[in-house]
Each structure stands twice: as C-alpha cells, then as structure tokens.
Amino acid sequence: MTATDAPGSSERTGGSALVPAVTTRPPAPDAGARASPGSNLLDALSIRDVRGYAVLDAAFGPGPQLVWGPNAAGKTNLLEAIVLLAWGHSHRTSTDAELVRWGADLGRVEGTAGRETIEVALLRPGAPAVAGAARKRIRVNGVPRRAPALLGLVRTVVFAPEEVLLVVGSPSLRRTALDRLAAQRSTVYARELATYARALQQRNSLLRAIREEQASRDQLRVWDTPLLESGAALLEERFRLLDDVRGPLARAHAEIAPDEAGAGQLTVRYQTNAPPLPGEPPGAAFARRLSETADKEIWNGATLVGPHRDDLVFELGGRDLAGFASRGQQRTAILAFKLAELDLLTDHDGRPPLLLLDDVFSELDPERRAHLVRRIAELPQAFVTTTTLDDLDPALRAVATTWRVEPAEDGARLVGPRSPAERGR
C-alpha cells in the first residue's frame, strides 16, 4: 500500500462551526489488526493539508511501526498529526495555524482507534474558504467535542529530541511534561488547566492596566477567585501525580542503570514558589503568597506566583541532577521518566499507551537502546522515526512494520507497509 502526504499549518480554537467534511476515508485495516474498543491502537490515519502532507491515507496494525526517511521529509510531521488526534493540539507549537499546509486554507486529520473516529480540522486565520467557521473543530464519532475530551481516548507518550533537555533545560519543559501526563490521567485536570490559563491571562492584563492607572485594585478579585480555585486543583493533582510516579520511576531507573540506582534513588521533587507553612494546604499557601506579592505584581504587571511559575527537580540520591549529572546520567533520568509514564498510564486503566519516538535512538547509547527496544516490543503499538533503519536495533527491525517517507514536489509520500516477512524476500 502507498500513502501520500504533505505537511502544512493550522490555528487552534474550540468550537463546533461547520467545516467541509473529508470525502476520502482511509482504507480499513484487516479485522485481525483492528484495535479492540477502548484500546490505544491507531487503526487508520487520514491527513489532508497538514504540514508537508497534502494527502495521506494509511492503515496500521499492532506492534512497532518504523517510519524512516531523510531529514525534513515529513517523519516528525506524521507523529505530530497523531499527537493532534490524541491531545487536540501539537506538541511542537502552540500556534495551530502553523500546521496548515502552505497554500491551503484548511487542514484536517482523522483517525480511527477501536470504535472511536476522531477528527480535528484546522482553519487558517483569515481564510475565505469557510466563512464564519471556528478556527478549530474537533469531532468524536461525528459529535462536536472540545480538546480536553480527547485526552482519555488515545493515551500517548511522546519522546522527542527536544526532551533531552528535560533535566537541565527551561522549567517550562518540565511543567509541560507534568501537565501532559496529569491531563491524560484526568480530564478534570485538563479543564482546570484551561481555566487557570484564561484567568492568568485576564489577571495579567488587569495588572498592567492597574499599573497604568487605568483600573483599580478592587477589580483583581474578579480574577483572583478562579485563579486560586483552579490553581489549588492543579497543585493538588500535581502532588498526587508525583507521589504516584515515585515507584515506577525508581523501578525504571533500577532497570536501566542498576549500578547508578544502587548508589542513590532517582526522584522528582516539586519546587513551588508558594511553599506551604507547617500544616498549610498548598492552595492556602498559594492564596497567602498571592496576597504577599500584590504590590510587586502591580509593579511588574504580571502574576509572579502560582503553578505557572513552579518547577520540577530531578534528584539522584537527594542531589539536584542539573548541577552535576553527566550527559549519560541525564539521558538515563529522562528515559526512566518516560518509561515511568508508560507504566503509570497503563496502571491507570489497564491500557498501555501509544508510544511515539521521534528519532531519539541516536541520543541513546547501546545499553539504553536495548532497554527501550524491550519496552517497545512489549507495547501493543509504537511509532518510531529514524533517518536510517541501520540506526535501530536488529531485534526491533525483526518484529516491526516499516514505512518509508519520501519527499515530493506535491508533498511527502508515505510508502508501505512492509512486514518483516516481506523485507526478508
């Protein structure tokens, strides 16, 4: 089978305004390869005018799916389309308009997982094609939904190159990783996160207006209430999540680096800018600190405390890894965290998540690759991208289905699948 594709860009917004429907559906996979209801297997994927893909229709079976081809051919864009179905937004950009293919007004991704058919349509801002339409439309089995409703349908763990900086990079990387994991465990968390973001944006605008003497301090109460309520909910779930991840993280670390784990346990500590006093709940501490920093916030025109300013600290034997870890120790910690994500989401409802690995094998040494290969082989389905199959473990290639991405003038093409038996002919 040959699948054609071409990447583009898009803009993110909830809503149910009508957008033209896809007329060509992806071919259905064999009955034996279809996911059971409620599974995290992606049966079929259809792309229209997203990133470099003009048209793509592909059916996937269980097991590892190896996607290979030259750089900038469209491998990462394929994974991004899958993430769009799973989360309702990209993992690479916060601007949906970037996903709509250049020259197109509308981009669309549709996928089938078990009994669920998920569609995300993105409209370029200012496009005349669909007057009055929402910039983003999400449907599940034809019913309009908002992005948080997608999070439990196809739980997904992504390991991308930018995450190699998870230990030493910007705090926003670690907050994002934590939020993604928490939101896939709880749609309530996803809703509270959206509420917090809206309240934070409005409160910051008001703080700037107060600084310019265009508004009064009394007006802050309007946004303090939703900010504190949703912030307290986020803090509660974040602390719960870190308690739950402690065991899986320690086990994954011991599996990957037993000698290192013997010298000290790998942990993740929550670092808040509103530390509670003895016996004080995190939400109350947040409210207290918000009051204490009121004058400074008006001076700066920004909310200076809250979950949006908190951080995670990876520690080995109680020491901050960012301060002493070698490149290899950082990779070990990140890989252990990703394996812990897999275990935590599997334990949540018994469904192993879909794993997406974007050219990360080149970042790992042979020993760490071997551990990752073993985990991939245990999963119902995983997508792995690489520039050459030679970079992948022979044991993984022996059991995987391969797809080749080819660049073309009219958009990338996805050629395949080739099973292990077919490759051996």
- Across the beta sheet with 136-140, the strand order is 53-59, 44-50, 106-113, 116-123, 136-140, 143-145
Neighbours of 177 (CB within 10 A): 19
Residue 52 · residue 101 · CB < 8 Å = yes
Q: Take residue 274 and report the two structure tokens written for it.
A: 């509103």
* Neighbour-count burial of 323, counting CB atoms closer than 10 A to its CB (0-12 exposed, 13-18 middle, 19+ buried): exposed
Alpha-carbon span 151 to 191, nearest angstrom: 11
Neighbours of 257 (CB within 10 A): 23
Sign of CA dihedral 421, 46, 352, 373: positive
pLDDT 10s per residue in the chain (425 long)? 445 443 333 333 333 333 333 333 333 333 333 333 456 899 999 999 999 999 999 999 999 999 999 998 999 999 999 999 999 999 998 889 899 999 899 999 999 999 999 999 999 887 775 555 568 999 999 999 998 889 889 999 999 888 889 999 999 999 999 999 999 999 899 999 999 999 999 999 999 999 999 999 999 999 999 999 999 999 999 999 999 999 999 999 999 899 899 989 999 999 999 999 999 999 999 999 999 999 999 999 999 999 999 999 999 999 999 999 998 899 899 999 999 999 999 999 899 999 999 988 877 888 888 888 888 988 999 999 999 998 888 889 999 999 999 988 888 999 988 876 666 55
Domain ranges for the chain: 1-62+69-154+401-415
Alpha-carbon span 126 to 332, nearest angstrom: 46
Contacts of 237 (CB under 8 A, 6+ apart): 182, 186, 188, 189, 192
pLDDT of the residue at 421? 63
CA-nearest of 362, 363, 422, 353 to 383 is: 353
Q: Take residue 326 and report the two structure tokens written for it.
A: 């070698």
DSSP-assigned letter for residue 130: S
pLDDT of the residue at 23? 32
What's 253-322 look like in SS3?
HHHHCHHHHHHCCEEEEEECCCCCCCCCCHHHHHHHHHHHCHHHHHHHCCCCCCHHHCEEEEEECCEEHH
CA 350 to chain centre: 20
pLDDT of the residue at 10? 36
For domain 1-62+69-154+401-415, the CATH class is alpha beta
Alpha-carbon span 404 to 388, nearest angstrom: 10
Respond yes or no on whether the N-terminal peptide bond of residue 417 is cis (omega within 30° of 0): yes
What interhelical angle do 187-211 and 171-185 show, nearest 10? 140
pLDDT digits (tens, 9 = 90+) for 361-405: 877 888 888 888 888 988 999 999 999 998 888 889 999 999 999
pLDDT digits (tens, 9 = 90+) for 22-36: 333 333 333 333 333
Contacts 24+ apart (CB under 8 A), 185-192: 185/241, 185/344, 185/345, 185/348, 186/237, 187/148, 187/149, 187/151, 187/152, 188/233, 188/237, 189/233, 189/234, 189/237, 190/147, 190/148, 190/151, 191/148, 192/230, 192/233, 192/234, 192/237
Length of the chain in terms of residues written = 425
Q: What is the pTM of this model?
A: 0.85
Alpha-carbon span 309 to 228, nearest angstrom: 14
